[in-house]
Structure formats: structure tokens, C-alpha cells
Structure 1
Amino acid sequence: MVPFERLEIGIYRAAIAAAIIVCAFPAVAQDGTGPIPENAEARSYGGGWDCSLGYRVNGGDCVAIDVPENAYATGRSYGSGWACKRGYQEVGGVSCEAIPIPENAFLRSSGLDWQCDRGYRQSRETCVPIDLPENAYLTNDPSGSGWECDRGFAKLTDACVPIAVPENGYLTNADFGAEWACERGFFEVDGRCDPVALPANAFLDQESFGPGWRCERGFEAVAGACVAINLPANAHLDRSGNRWRCDRSFQLSDGACVLGR
């Protein structure tokens, strides 16, 4: 027998031996596709199985996860396989300890931290009473002082002082910027509200700049007065109504609108 034929016979015999071993000793699956081991359940869809809650795959078996006190099994195949219950925090990756909550505080909805009760503010790891000044009210903001001044008062250090509103002025209720503004028809001058001097053929304008008034349509402001616009031929008032421009195909030349060429 030639060497090549002997090699073929050897390969054939090895293949048969391997098949016999596989049939006699089936491989243990580690991906949930073999026989269902103890503490496992058949998958609700497809084939195969998954370890029961509180167990994880180890070889072809489902071994129990060491879940510490005050923790629960997550069912995840990665990580520790457990998480601390609400109100507890992981310590060293092996235990769950209660989150220390000081007096006059409560556990936040996340279950991961605490917050002081209304009327108290956090001072390091404790909750201390809020010293509410006169003319102030408590807020639900856990940060900062925990209080705001009533309407008509401004915060000054730890007190609420009255806002000095001049005659013909009103409170703005703004969180920042001016605390008061002048009524319509008045404008601010050196901390007071003076009346707007409204010329003839004008109306009040509440713009924050300018004299506080605008001329009616067809009039223009000249030296604090509203004078009628002398509209030349082939011209019209623009959008503002206080200026004019030449009609289409006409152009301005020496104060007149002449036909363009």
C-alpha cells in the first residue's frame, strides 16, 4: 500500500472515531442551546433556554448569583447580576448599605439621594431651619436661601426691603433688571416718572428709546413737533408713514421726483 493511501485511511478512521465520541458524549452548550439544565427555563420565543432569575450561565449549568442583603437580581448577563434596592447604595461591589437620611429630610424619587423638607435647607450632611425674614415666603428650590421676597420687596443680604416706586410708576415683577417702570405716558428721568410732552398730531409710543411719542401718519418730527409732510408729485408715504419716497420709475432730484431714464 502506498503512503498516500495509508494517509487517506488514517484520516477516515479518525473522522469515524470523532463522530462516535460526539454521539456518545454530547457537548455541553454554553449559549443556551443544549439540554435545559436545572434552574433554567425554555425561552418564550425561538429555541434554547435561559437561566432563571438569580442564576447565570457557567459552562452548561445555571449557578446561583450571590445577591447581598437589600439587593435584587437584575437578570442581566453582564456585571454583578444584582443591584441595590431603592434607598440603598452599593459599597465595595459586595454589599448594599442604607443611604443615611438626616432629620427633616426625605429620600428623592430617584432613590439615590435625599432632599431637605420644605422650610429647611441643606448644610453639609444636615438640614437646618430656614431663617425666613419679614415680607418673604418659602420656595421649593432646594438650593440657595430657600426663600424669596414678597411682591414690592427686594432681597438685600438676609432681609427684604421695600422697593421705592416713584409716582406714576409700577412694579415690574422682573427677576432681573429694573424693579419698576413708568406708566404709559410717562418716562424715567433721574429716578422719577415725568409726563411725556405730547405735541399736536402725535401719539404715545412705548418704545424704550426716543421721546415717548411718534407723529401721526403724514407728519414728521421736526424740533420736538409734528409737521405735515409736503408730498411732492409722483411720491408716496413709506411704510412708517412719517417719510416719503418716489414712485416706481421716478427718482429723487433736487427734492422732486423725476422720471428716470
Structure 2
Amino acid sequence: MKYLSFMRGAGSGSGAFLLCVIGSAQGAVPANAHPLPYGDNWECDRGYHQHEKSCLAVVVPEHAFLSAYGRSWECERGFLKENENCVAINVPANGYLDKGAFQGWSCEVGFRKQDDQCAAVLVPTNAYPTYETHGKGWKCERGFREKGDACLEVKVPANAYPVYELYGNGWSCLRGFKQDDDQCVAVNTPAHAFLTEEGDGWECARGYRADRDVCAPLKLPPHAHIDNSGNGWECDNGYSQKGDRCNQNW
């Protein structure tokens, strides 16, 4: 803003001045806009968008509404933006509106997109439909395995239990048993041994070493001790291993 001052005439009061305010063209606010609380900046009112130094009205087409900031528009639910209009979404039978989908709709569970329709998924016996957009659209129930377009019953041997997996035989052996072809055979744990965490093998206890099918006690030479693994030994400080002995360092 610019300010212009001049002295009043005689009789108007000694030393008094009259101030006149003149708007600065540089900071002029256009129509349908409002100044910002800092500097000479301004922004368009809600429902208008800036075009160069003017504020033009946002043209909202049918079935649309102003966006949150009022500078543009969005289509109502059930409509998609196409050029400068909002066109109705054609939802096929067995479909539903889905804003996140490319076409604005998705198929109900048990149906798959096929062109512009929702085709029924042929779910075999002992299977259930899924929401997956790829694949066959179904999975076999627990205890059954997919083979072609069917779900065949998994034959679980003794000492085993069924598991759900896309590959493999569809079952796993109980702890303490290991797979041998189509059977689960017991793990023969020798003396001084224990089952591994997986339960399909064994390890020797501390102070013993596996020797074929048994756990043999460690034979420590003089000046040696059991190592961190518990199944071997190493020389004490000041000694070095040479064969099966610990020789003193010189």
C-alpha cells in the first residue's frame, strides 16, 4: 500500500496531517480471491482456481462435487472421471463398486472378471472360493491336494499329520519320526543323544561325538577341554594341537 500525506489548511489545527491510502497495483487482489496474512500474496476463494492473475470458477459437471480444497472436482460414488465429465460405472451382475479397482468395480467372491462380466468360478468338491484375482480362484480344503481341476484326498500315513502346502506330499511326520518314502519311521536315538529341534534326527549330548549310529565319549588328551560345540575338544591356553595331542608353546 502507498500512503500520501499533506498539511491541512489554516485553522485546521497546527501540525495536523491528513493521510490518504492509495491501493498499490502490484498487490491488487483479483475478484473471487482473498489476501493471505503475509506479504502481498493472495489465493482464490473456494470454488475458483487460479489462471495467471485471475480466479476462474471451477466448472463442476453433473454427478460431481468440489474437492476438499475447492480447486478441482471429484466424481460421486458410482461414477468415473472421463475427460471433463462423470460417467456412470456399469457394475455387472455378481459385482460391486470398488473405488480402488481400475474399472471401478470388482467381482464378488466365487466370481472372476471375464471381459466386462463376472463369471462364476467352478469350485470343485472339497475346495473353497478365494478373493484372488489370479490363479484358479479356489483352494483345496485341509486334507486335500490340488491335482488338475480337482481336490484329491491326502493319504496321511501312520505317525503323520496333514499340512496345507501347494507342493510336497501334503503331510508331515510327527516329532520323533522321519519320512521314508510314503511312511513315517521312528528316529532311533542312541544312548547319550537327543532329538533335534525339527524332531526328525538326533544329536549327541555334550562330551560325546557321533560315530555312525552311536554317540562315543570324547577322549581328551592332557591339557585339553571340551570346545563350545560340546562335541569336540581344543587345547588349553599355552598349548597347540598337533594330531591328537596338545603340545606346550615355547
For Structure 1 versus Structure 2, the TM-score category normalised by the shorter chain is: 0.7 to 0.9
Contact kept? 2:128, 2:138, Cα under 8 Å:
yes
The residue number in structure 2 matching 1:235 is 224
Aligned equivalents of 1:56 and 1:201: distance in 2?
A: 83
Q: Larger % of helix: which?
A: 1
Indicate how the Cα distance of structure 1 residues 123 and 111 shifts in structure 2: closer, same or farther if over 3 A, else same. Answer: closer
CA distance in 2, matches of 1:251, 1:224: 31
Corresponding position of 2:245: 256
8 Å Cα contact 1:172-1:180 kept in structure 2: yes
Q: Could you tell me how far apart the structure 2 residues matched to 1:50 and 1:204 are?
A: 75
CA deviation vs aligned residue, 1:110-160 (integer Å, no higher than 9, x gap): 375211112222222111222222111232334433321111111122211
Q: State the number of aligned residues.
A: 227
Q: How many Å apart are 1:71 and its aligned residue?
A: 2.7
- Which residue, 55, 62, 68 being the options, matches 1:69? 62
Q: CA deviation at 1:215?
A: 1.6
Match of 1:226 among 215, 220, 240: 215
Report the identity percentage: 35
Residue 67 of structure 1: how far off its partner (Å): 2.8
Q: Distance in 2 between matches of 1:219 and 1:25?
A: 98
Give 2:90's aligned residue: 100
Mapped partners of 2:77, 2:140: distance in 1: 37
Amino acid at match of 1:140: Y
Q: Deviations over 1:6-59 (max 9, x none)?
A: xxxxxxxxxxxxxxxxxx9985x7xxx41552xx14246335543333334457
Unaligned runs of 5+ in 1: 1-23
Q: Distance in 2 between matches of 1:151 and 1:59?
A: 66
Distance 1:146 1:70 in 2: 35
Residue 205 in structure 1 maps to residue 196 in structure 2: yes
Match 2:138 to one of 147, 154, 163: 147
Taking only aligned residues, the RMSD between alpha carbons, in angstroms, comes to: 3.0
User: Aligned AA for 2:244?
Assistant: G
How far did residue 237 of structure 1 move? Answer: 0.8
Mapping of residues 107-256 of structure 1, within 5 Å = 107-110=97-100, 113-177=104-168, 179-206=170-197, 212-256=201-245
Give unpaired runs (5+ residues) of structure 2. Answer: 1-21
Rate the CA distance shift 1:143–1:34 in 2: closer, same or farther, 3 A: same
Find runs of 4+ consecutive structure 1 residues off by over 6 angstroms: none
Q: Distance in 1 between matches of 2:173 and 2:29?
A: 85
3-state DSSP class of the match of 2:100? coil
Matches within 5 A, 1:76-91: 81-91=72-82
Cα deviation per residue 1:170-204 (whole Å; 9 max; x = unaligned)?
A: 22333445522222222112221112222222222
More strand by share: 2
SS state of the match for residue 241, structure 2? strand
Tell whether the 8 Å contact from 1:71 to 1:85 is kept in structure 2 after alignment: yes
Return the alpha-carbon distance in structure 1 between the equivalents of residues 149 and 228 of structure 2.
53
Kindly tell me: are residues 36 and 221 of structure 1, through their superposed partners in 2, closer, same or farther at Cα, counting changes over 3 Å? Answer: closer
Matched-pair contact (CA < 8 Å) for 1:121–1:142:
yes
Q: Normalised by the size of structure 2, how large is the TM-score? A: 0.76
Flag the 1:100–1:249 CA change in 2: closer, same or farther, 3 A: same
Secondary structure in structure 1 of the residue aligned to 2:43: strand
Rounded to whole Å, the distance in 1 between the matches of 2:42 and 2:216 is 93
On the 8 A contact 1:56/1:64 being kept in 2, the answer is yes
